[in-house]
Amino acid sequence: GAGSGAAPTPAHATSAPSDGGPPPFHVNVLADNWDTQCGEWFLLQQQPGKVPPPPSLDRTDAWASALGGVPAGHLRLQLTAQTDATRPIVLHALYVHVVSSRPAPKGTAYTPGSGCGGNLEPAAFAVDLDAAAPRARPVPGYVGSGTTRTLSTFPYLISATDPQVLDVDAGTAGRDVSWYLELSWSSGDRSGTVPIDDHGRPFRTVGLRGDPAYFYDGTAWSRTGVDD
């Protein structure tokens, strides 16, 4: 699933480069909620008494998958574009493609995070999956050393010594959305696009509007609110 899998997912090419060869770079995808359980939600059909306690961060994906959970509210990805090519590569744009969108199913929301408070979120590209034409929009956040700013935006230049990390926060309030991203690039006279998805399938994110929500207080699941 795409909930918290800590293993990198290599993106694969669908739009072949102009010369027919493979892209001169690859994109690793981490769908681990930016390495934290804070603000991470799953929609389940089980009542609290039937849901086991949440595990450690590296086991969250398996826990949610075993329960039939779907990433809910937000899906936060970290994309790392890197290359061993000698010629620099220009990353031009990050596109959002919605495969399907329908009303979110009803269920119960659970978060494995507890006692999070106001955790520092990185500067990122936000995607409103409820928009008529979703796009990746730079939003301000923490960039380290006590600094908060908005990301520079495309184009980016990557080389063998200079990879590019892109954090993406895709959210929906009340829809069930299947979607993927596409990164356009060029290098010299070559160009193409690289899709970014969940092991060859679209990502899926569902909204939590109106659903009861719970966090684990150390001994049992307790009611809470969902932070947008």
| SS3 call for 182 | strand
HSE of 158, CA atoms in CB hemisphere, 13 A: 22
Task: Encode pLDDT of 17-72 as tens digits.
Answer: 666 789 999 999 998 888 888 889 999 999 999 999 998 888 898 999 999 999 99
Residue 166 lies in a domain: yes
Tokens standing for 124? 């990122």
Residue 2 lies in a domain: no
188: left (phi over 0), alpha (psi -120 to 50) or beta: left
User: pTM here?
Assistant: 0.87
Q: What is the dihedral of CA 228, 177, 3, 24, to 10 degrees?
A: -120
Q: How far apart are CA 175 and CA 66, in angstroms?
A: 23
Residue 4 lies in a domain: no
Query: What is the identity of the amino acid at 48?
Result: P
Tokens standing for 45? 């059909």
Tokens standing for 147? 């600094």
What confidence score (pLDDT) does residue 63 get?
Answer: 95
Are residues 56 and 114 in contact, defined by beta-carbon separation less than 8 angstroms?
no
Residue 76 lies in a domain: yes
Nearest-Å Rg of the Cα atoms of the chain is 18
Q: How far apart are CA 86 and CA 90, in angstroms?
A: 13
What percentage of residues in the chain have a pLDDT greater than 90? 69
Task: Encode pLDDT of 104-122 as tens digits.
Answer: 999 999 999 876 766 567 7
Residue span of the structural domain in which 209 resides: 9-224
Quote the number of domains for the chain. 1
Q: How far apart are CA 140 and CA 149, in angstroms?
A: 5
Residue 133 lies in a domain: yes
